[in-house]
Structure 1
Amino acid sequence: MTSEEARNSNEVVSGTFVVNSKPAKVLFDCGANLSFVSLKFVNKLDRPLVKLKNPVEVEISHGKTVLGFDECENYDIVFGTESFKIALIPMTLGEFDVVVSMDWLDCMEFLVHVVNTREAPPSIRSIPVVNEFEDVFLDELPGVLPKT
């Protein structure tokens, strides 16, 4: 899948996130049941690979399958100020550095609000739960604060 296809899809989300202190093009794919890292990106991370006890068979485009023999254990992926551990299977990927499975995201316990940047920003009143506490929040939602 390309970045353009990801932008036009309702089934995936993509963006740039920090993986092991390096910026990475990440695709969050609800159809994936494993998480992957591109061979090109894994070489930049300078971390040893761990052999899997049993190779994993991965179906890629058009029904073709490939085997994964290694795993990248305990990699860090950062969302805002939070860092989470993830295991990644190295393989040839298109233009993304990392593909994160939805199974991994199901294990995370954090609140996320996804916004379509092609539309006007949401108001406090339009966000469920947050709208119940309008007196706590600013009238306008600021973007990401600049690093100081």
Structure 2
Amino acid sequence: MHYANKCTFNKKVCYGCNEEGHILRDRPKKKEVARPNVPPKLKARAFQMMLEAAKEVVDVTLRTFLVNGLPINVLFDSGANYSLVSYEFGGKLALPVEKLYNTLVVEVASGKFVPVSDRIKNIVIDLNENEFHEELLPIELNGFGIVLGMDWLSPNDAEILYRNKIVRVKPPGKESFMVYGENAE
């Protein structure tokens, strides 16, 4: 029971701070929740598809390149946040696998979330005689050896010309070049 001048029935009153004029979700003075000193798990997306499907999809580009001297299918995918290497191909590289500081949780095409806790450094990708020394995350990939995602595309100012299946790459301090994918017009 309360007096009429204290009634909050027809007023917007925040249940968090008891002030009028807003409700809890719109509260301007949100208190920061104390969090333990544990870094959050990072999240990323990696839209995996089968090799044959990648040849038909318009928003990715695919081609075989030399990686550490071995030929492998490389997919350029602006829908992937991070660059990845298949477990199978990563094992052929005979490079040390290191633990990540934080486990990365990757959402794959099926909607499942896959934890990734390793990385492989010193992977040399030869794109038309332009070498890139990369650090990639090992994961199960469907028919690809490597997926180059936004963490590679963005710093190399790469632009996927989807209709033509061409990637225009403008790496810092180097001349720009084109990568022609399979079925390029």
Candidates 76, 79, 87, aligned match of 1:31: 79
Tell me whether 1:111 sits opposite 2:111 in the alignment. no
- The answer for the alignment partner of 2:103 in structure 1 is 55
Note if contact 2:128-2:179 (Cα within 8 Å) is conserved in structure 1. no
Unaligned runs of 5+ in 1: 120-148
Of Structure 1 and Structure 2, the greater helix share is in: 1
Equivalent in 66, 81, 97 of residue 18 of structure 1 = 66
Question: Are residues 1:4 and 2:84 paired?
Answer: no
Note the aligned Cα RMSD (angstroms): 1.8
Unaligned runs of 5+ in 2: 1-48, 157-170
Q: What is the identity, as a one-letter code, of the residue corresponding to 2:58? A: N
Shift of 1:116: 7.3
Q: Aligned partner of 2:155: which letter?
A: C
Distance change >3 Å, CA 28–CA 67, structure 1 → 2: same
Match of 2:7 in 1: none
Q: CA-to-partner distance for each residue in 1:68-87, whole Å, 9 max, x for gaps?
A: 11101121101111101221
Q: Residues 14 and 116 (structure 1 numbering): CA distance in 2 closer, same or farther, change over 3 Å?
A: closer
Q: How does 1:59-78 map to 2 (within 5 A)?
A: 59-78=107-126
Pair member with larger Rg: 2
Alpha carbons of structure 1 residues 111 and 118: separation in structure 2 relative to 1, 3 Å: closer
Could you tell me which amino acid in structure 1 is paired with residue 151 of structure 2? Answer: D
Q: How many residues align?
A: 119
User: 2:63–2:182: 8 Å Cα contact kept in structure 1?
Assistant: no
Distance 1:80 1:52, change over 3 A: same
Corresponding residue SS for 2:177: coil
- Per chain length, whose mean CA-contact separation is higher, i.e. which structure has more relative contact order (CA < 8 Å, sep 6+)? 1
CA distance in structure 2 between the aligned counterparts of 1:29 and 1:116, rounded to whole angstroms: 14
Compared CA separation, residues 89 and 114, structure 1 to 2 (3 A): same
Match of 1:146 in 2: none
Between the aligned residues of both structures, percent identity stands at 38
